[in-house]
Structure 1
């Protein structure tokens, strides 16, 4: 069994252990999660992600079983790492490689974690539109995250295979991200709405499956008159999965702009995803305070897209992963800082609500 498979299986077992701990020990009852619980869980998950960063900076070379300068050079060439080996010095070359690997991982993690915030906007809308009880949020998000891990695994390794075989796909990804970033900027002030009755998932389920017309506690399925039916809670779960699928189309190409190593993409992606549930409970009530966050995310996607389109020129200029990390942190920090410094005027917000109500009438 190869080092990559052993490393990957160990990582997956560890992640499932964390999820089992969350579901079984930390949340035995389906009651409302407090802000304190969400904060502690968020802190715990971020610490795990940072711990994995230090693991990679010390032992990252073990991922691909690097034990010689020749093997190191092959891995660097294959995954296009911006690292130059030191001739005749394996130990120093591995140290440089591990440092870069950790940097690629933490940069990808920040990108995915930032883009997850936009996902939270939609999840809040879905829960609100379908009238999901707060005590059931945790259950839906837990199984939603589990499904997201499986989908991301498939997406990432298929994407890596395509990039390795067709290098021009990077330009397609780059163009798509620039388009998405510009589109997000122009639609930043539009009010998103979800119609529970006419949602594509609901229409599809009603057409091909038996669907119960009311929530039954925290159950996804219920037996009525001997017939097993889906509950609205299961439909909400499917919609959450569908939403993550859409967001993965943006986030996965974005991380491939940071690193071409599919394992690093997967690790950074999954750590961000398992932090999504706790981040949801932490930000759900205050997310509307970050009025310029959409602008920041739009700028982030546009920057990453341009980086993918112009990567050859940037490489010649000496633009490294460290520079990418600085730009990404600056964009996110500026959008959060300006949101707090210039909060939305209450009169302006009230005016927007009145306009929306007039449109409904």
Structure 2
């Protein structure tokens, strides 16, 4: 059953059976090959066209589908379903990153010919940092089941904040964080770009270029977004392998999605509410799981609470349904607004 009351069993949340080491090696090697091909294909600076972006999105989504099929064949339906739910969640939450990426590109005045390389390297940085984040999260969840209370509460609070956040008509400005400002104070930065170079030597001293700065900015920004997306996917599955691969495929396809959506981002006026609903739903799911395996002595005398649990199939249905509904509603709203302006 997708939503059923299950008899409570004392003890912490059981850790998922880990994947063999060779599976991790093969997976990471495969991802590195994909990155190498992507880097080779984009070795020459060029402006990405809509057709190229659409082809890139189709390729990366196709790779995710093939990976899900492989999981279904060799790992079973639960793993494949968990991957699809995690991938869709991470990809949809990553769309919100694109707004900030656009601000960063504008703030650093990145030439369009270099934007694809900046995004690729920035996303690679983010993927490496997220890997460490995922390993740490998996270790904490295995030892302390009560952390799901914290994850759930954090996601619910974040969902409320996302839904209440006002959308400004004026473009907000990107503000450099403390790390970027510290880099500028310690290392000299060239006033403008030097083609695609990251470090140059001028006037007898080594300097970094804005190209390196914007790559760092995108990597760090994505890591901040991971503060809600990582707990969200742990709410769908506790398998670190699934969490990592879902994040990897979502991040790898993000660059093409950036160029494909472009001006369409402003038309998704209800996206923030859809993301808020998804985060709140997963937050509630986490709290229910925490109650089901409760060990806190001040709650129900340290005994598990017999509450209903939300299955992964229902989670996937809700996530896809909410995204489809908010996208359709957004397009209808922006189309009607455009007609009203034309009629004035």
* Residues 26-175 of structure 1 mapped to structure 2, 5 A cutoff: 26-60=41-75, 98-175=76-153
Bigger mean CA offset, 302-311 vs 200-209: 200-209
**Aligned with 1:294 (options 272, 277, 295):** 272
- 1:263-301 deviation line (CA, Å, top 9, x unaligned): 111111111110111111111222111111111111111
Conservation of the 8 A alpha-carbon contact between 2:190 and 2:209? yes
The answer to whether the Cα contact below 8 Å between 2:233 and 2:243 also exists between their aligned partners in 1 is: yes
Residues 149, 161 of structure 1: alpha-carbon distance in 2 compared, 3 angstrom cutoff:
same
**2:23 pairs with 7, 10, 21, which one?**
7
By percentage of residues, which structure has more helix? 1
1:194 to 169, 173, 178: 173
Q: RMSD between aligned alpha carbons?
A: 2.1
CA shift for structure 1 position 202: 3.7
Q: Tell me the residue number matched to 2:324.
A: 333
Q: TM-score, normalised by structure 2?
A: 0.85
Q: Contact (CA 8 Å) 2:154, 2:283: kept in 1 or not? A: yes
Find the counterpart in structure 1 of residue 34 from structure 2. Answer: 18
CA distance in 2, matches of 1:138, 1:328: 29
The superposition leaves residues 35-72 of structure 1 with CA deviations (integer Å, 9 ceiling, x where unpaired) of 11111111011111011111111111xxxxxxxxxxxx
- Tell me the TM-score normalized by structure 1: 0.81
Count of residues in correspondence between the two structures:
310
Partner of 1:305: 283
Residue in 1 that maps onto 2:163? 185
8 A Cα contact 2:89 2:233, kept in partner: yes
Partner Cα separation in structure 1 for residue 19 and residue 244 of structure 2: 16
Contact 1:188 1:295 in 2 (8 A): no
Q: 1:172 to 1:11 in 2, by over 3 A?
A: same
Deviation string, structure 1 residues 132-176 (Cα, Å, up to 9, x no partner): 111111111111121122111111111000001011111101111
Moved more, 316-325 or 145-154: 316-325
CA distance in 1, matches of 2:306, 2:209: 53
Distance 1:242 1:289, change over 3 A: same
The one-character-per-residue Cα deviations of 1:195-226 (angstroms, maximum 9, x if unpaired) are 56x65344212222122222212221111112
1:272-291 correspondence to structure 2 within 5 Å:
272-291=250-269
Q: Which has the higher contact order (CA 8 A, sep 6+)?
A: 2
How many Å apart are 1:315 and its aligned residue? Answer: 8.2
Supply the distance in 2 between the matched residues of 1:28 and 1:247 (Cα, whole angstroms): 28
Which stretches in structure 2 are left out of the alignment for 5+ residues? 1-17, 293-304
CA distance in 2, matches of 1:347, 1:44: 35
Q: Is the 8 A contact 2:123 2:218 kept in 1?
A: no
- The equivalent residue for 2:4 is none
2:14 corresponds to: none
Q: Secondary structure at the match of 2:188?
A: coil
Partners of 1:201 and 1:235 within 8 A in 2: no
Aligned-residue offset at 1:346: 5.2
2:90–2:246 Cα contact (<8 Å) kept:
yes
Match for residue 298 of structure 2? Answer: none
Structure 1 gap ranges (5+): 61-97, 350-361
Taking a change above 3 Å as real, the CA distance of residues 336 and 195 of structure 1, as seen in their structure-2 partners, is: closer
Deviation, structure 1 residue 248 = 0.8
